[in-house]
Chain A
Amino acid sequence: MLNDKIKQLVETCIARISNIDEMSANDLQKIKSESLGKNSELQNMLKSMRDLSPEERPAFGQLVNEARKTLESAFAEAEAKMKEKVLNEKLQKETVDITLPYQSVSCEERGHLHPVNLVANEIMDIFKGLGFEVLEGPEIETDYYCFEALNIPKNHPARDAQDTFYIAEDIVLRTHTSPNQVRVMEKKQPPIKMLCPGKVYRSDDDASHSPMFHQIEGLVVDKNVTLCDLMGTLETFAQSLFNEQTKARFRPSFFPFTEPSVEVDLTCSNCGGKGCKLCKGTGWIEVLGAGMVNPKVLENCGIDSTKYTGYAFGMGLERIAMIKYGIPNIKLFFENDVRFLKQFR
């Protein structure tokens, strides 16, 4: 008898709150207090328990409690729906006529490019003037373009130097912009003068490294291209980017895709070569890596290495920006605080 009553109570209540759409939040609240509140029928039934025999009480108590739980979860669900409905109604009410004419745009001060792109643009402008085309390549690369074609075979120790993010066995996030050298040379016979800016990735994240950063790569392949041309090009570039007095210095180094390979130092833009904190007293700052394109790479791309020579260089744009603007920490580039961004022009 009582069991049926409880069952019916629950069913009626659930039926009452089943149609949220036609109800207000207040309605729902009211039903809730009627069904579960102090003076609710359920509470009254609980009070009536004292009329039962001690044997009957536990079973009945459990029944009422179960009913309460069922109702509570039904209300929780209804309330969530109600909340969504109220939000949607609010959003509905806020609806604007999106076809209205736009606001005229004015501003107190110009915005600026990100310092990395500011530097990239400056570099591209310099090299465009020297006849370089800007050609971009994919950031997700095949192992072949990123390594093999550049004379870095699998299991070669040179791969240790670049902590690679892998997507699949033969697909990587490019660790440098050099793969685009190969892509361009495969498609095009000399003369080639190209510049490739872009994002590169290495699994390295500490105070002085960011897992994503930017490089710009330069490549020239033609008849009669020499190491002296590389030196001249980079010196011209450095003088345009920093100042007229800037000199370049080569130090022997090794990259699998160039031979000879050099590290290029520039006279310190801060002290002009006298020696300061920035250049650790040496007067020189290590800025980029370069070299004469390894004939193996030319051959991999179908270019006659007996006829053509070439040079390639690559540099980190964050590093250039840090030197040029005196930015102390690579992390600042990716925090994008407007007070930082506004400073560069």
Chain B
Amino acid sequence: MSVLLDIRDLRKSFGGVTATDGVSLAVRAGELHAIIGPNGAGKTTLIGQLSGALLPDSGQILFRGGDITRKAAYVRARMGITRSFQITSLVMDMSVLDNVALAVQATKGHSFCFFRPAHKITPIRDAAREVLDKVGLLARAETPAIALSHGEHRQLEIAVALASGAEMMLLDEPMAGLGGEESALLVEFLKTLKGQRTILLIEHDMDAVFALADRVSVLVYGRIIATGSPDEIRANREVRHAYLGEE
């Protein structure tokens, strides 16, 4: 499999704290690559640098072989990298459908179109409804995003990432705050995406990670201490010591 996202010796520090300390990682096209690590390991900081919200101090990020280290966040999004947020990030005063439609609209060229009502552009609305149907939110299409439950917010967060059509999805703790049943449903849903999209998944829920991931990397204090298949990671002594808390 070819490498889609190539991270080379990435470093980022905030004042005296080194959040990313020489991370190198190759995410292969089509795989679901999970990153696990204790709190404060620098997982969200890493996602921030990959999506363009933060600039690394040094190192390189290659996407499809091209250097995107210094590219603006919106440019990366257009190239096909999208992210979801650990803390739900939606346009709360818009409807569920509008939130997804905005993601679809972004894939259809620029939006400097001033006169035609957006609600009447059926290709966009239909595509958005289709995505909502996939994540099971179609019945809530006209509801303002703010009126959704936490679980539905997480679903919508995924729907928006999905609708952006991005080849590479960076999912930052999509299960955060979900109950067991909701979590299991989301795991099933993410399974259906496997092979279609390349996913870099950050997750605390170990059951979810081991059920979903093709490969797992362990991030501790800004360093990747191990990368391998779920079974290899489970068996890795260093990982068990540093992260899983066993001797």
Whether chain B is bound by chain A comes out as no
Q: Which residues of A contact B (CB under 8 A)?
A: none
